[in-house]
Structure 1
Amino acid sequence: MDSSVSLWVLLLANLLVLVLVFFLVLALWRKQTSQRDDAADELNQVNQLALNLQAANERLERELRNAISESARGGRQELIQTLGTFQQSLVQQSAEATRTQNSQMDAFAQQLALLQKTLSDTLTLQVQQLSEANARRLSEMRGTLETQLAQLQQSNTAKLDEMRQTVDEKLQTTLQARLGESFKQVADRLEQVHKGLGEMNTLAQGVGDLKHLLTNVKTRGMFGEAQLASLLEQVMAPDQYATQHATRPGSKNRVDFAIRLPGRSDDGEPVWLPIDAKFPNEDYERLLDAQSRADVIQAELCSKALEARVRLEAKSMTEKYVEPPYTTDFAIMFLPTEGLYAEVLRRPGLIESLQRDYRVTLAGPTTLMAMLNSLQMGFRTLALEKRSSEVWQVLGAVKTEFGKFGDVLAKVKEQTQSVLNTLDKAQTRSNVMHRALRGVEALSEGQAAGLLPNEADATDSDNP
């Protein structure tokens, strides 16, 4: 620190010398302006002073550098000494703190061990006392539960016997009724199967006759009429259609079948819907033969021939059977097979042309059945309209009986719900007793029979 102070003093002295030299040069310069005759001498003096000043500055710089180096070296040594002293002090303080902490931890460990031992002894004593108290309470509860269980078992046994008897009676009645119905249904089905087998045999015998039937033109017509009659018999009542009926007044042409529709006139005369069966089998068979041979040209020719035949039959039906207002403004041509009907439908525009030009609608077996069902629904609607008062009376009676039936069902539901609630309560109590007796050791059957009375003894004790 002393060397640093001396260095700063020396630096200030040098600065003062430099200031003095500056003022001296300034004075000389001023004097030079006044005395121009001595200018050369003064200039030499100034140069000499400048050289001297430069030399002095160089010496001052060297001394200043040396002083700074010495000062830095001394400061580093002093700092190293100070750091060493501080490090030793820290090591001593850390060792002292470690010793103090170890002594405190030893004392805390001793206190903790003592506290743990005291707590363990206290808990052991409390657990022992609690176990003894629980044992006494469990013994008392076991005695109470055994008494209540015996009473509840006797009561449940009596109630279960009553419910078992009731349920057995109802089950026996229901089972007998359902078994009787099932056996009756099985017998009916077996009888139907037997009849079906007989019909199959009859059908197998009639296949040959049917083949022979289709080889004749007249018999083919009879086949179509027979199939049409079968469909009408399945859907319509006998008084809803007529057979071989002359739809035109004074005409001798008779249509195969005509459906009687309600008329709009006051005299009650019906309106007839003509239905005639047509079976152009030759054209259809030639078409099938060409298709089986993959002869496209011949198949197209046969298809056109079939179309021409159908158009001819439709024109004939219109001229013979359609006569409004005695008949509807259209007739139905029945084609007996679905294959023939499908081939006719394949001809583009044929159905629309027949309906537009000849007022004839084509129908296969399935289509005609749908038409007849629709007509039958219309007939039923008319019948319901005519007998609406009777229907309302029947509905009123049914409503009254249905109300009584609902009351009976409500009573049955209440009784059934009561039985179910009793069974649920018994099941719940049984589960509670089972959980309560889970820790009780079960006795053998012989010991249990000796302690508990059997059903006969219980019955004798209940009925002295």
Structure 2
Amino acid sequence: MELQNGLKAMSDSLDNRVGGLTANLNLHFTAFADVQKKTGDALAETQRLRLNEVNATLGKLTETLSAQQIEGRKAMAEELEKVRVTLTDNLAGLRKENEAKLEEMRKTVDEKLQSTLDQRLDANFKQVSDRLESVQKGLGEMQSLATGVGDLKRVLTNVKSRGTWGEVQLGALLEDTLTSEQYAAQVQVRPRSAERVDFAVRLPGQDDDGQVWIPIDCKFPHEDYARLVAAQESANPVEAEAAGKALERAVMAQAKIMAEKYIHPPHTTDFAYMYLPTEGLFAEIVRREGFTADLRARHRVEIAGPSTLTAMLNALRVGFRSLQIQKKSSEVWTELGKVKSAFEKYGETLEAVDKKLDEAKNKVADVGRKHRAVVHSLRNVESLPALEVVAVAALPEPSDEAAE
């Protein structure tokens, strides 16, 4: 019972305290709210005052900037005006100077132009005079050339002259390609005959002294070829066909004569070359189907123009060089055989010397062993008994043959 009363009293006391604390807290909260309200009002007032000050300052600053901007514009306008006036004055002075210099340059150019023009006119007149003189000389040369052309025309219309011209061209080709020992002119290829071929290339025979000739004869059936060219240029197929047949007959007849006169094995090859001195004539003959083969089969004659003959001569030159190399190679092999035999004998001699050296080496080694035995015996001679001394004295002396 007392405990309950004590607890009740304690509970009442706690309630009273809690009530007091609650009242105090309410008072404090009320005071804090008043203080907070006053503080907020003070801060708001302070901010309003500062904002007014800032607005006033900005207004003054704006007015100041506007005034300064107006003054700056005025100053800039004044400076620009001064610059404009200065530039105007400078341009006026520069214009006057330029006009004066241009006038001076004009006078100088006029003077130089006049002098240059006079010099050029004098030089041009001199050049014209020189060229007129050159033209006169050229006219003289043209007259000489016309004379030469006339001579050439006469050569081409004359059979003998055409043949001579073709032979000269053929000789120049041979001279440019082969050596003088590899060909000859006006060769008598058939024994006991007066016929001579224009040129012949010398080939080596079976032995060193023998030789075989390749006959080369120059032919130029100009009239038949000229008629063919004229018919082709006039687009007349009938005349062109007739002229072509005539050209074939002329070449075939010449090939027959060549075969009878110049092909004579074994003194010559079993064929000969007919040289046509112009590429046009050669091309016309070659392009005729089966004609060159017919020439080859009937008369063993080959057709050659300047280009094909040059190629053939170059091939022959290479063949001649290969043959010379082959002959030199045979001589080299012969000499190498002799050297081989000499080296074999030299090897046998070296083997004999090596054997003698081995024998001498063995004898020297034997003498060395005996020498060491004698030296060893002499070192101990004082300690040897009388019988051993006698035995040492009885050792054989080295022979003269071993010493050698």
Give TM-score scaled by structure 1 length. 0.39
Normalised by the size of structure 2, how large is the TM-score? 0.45
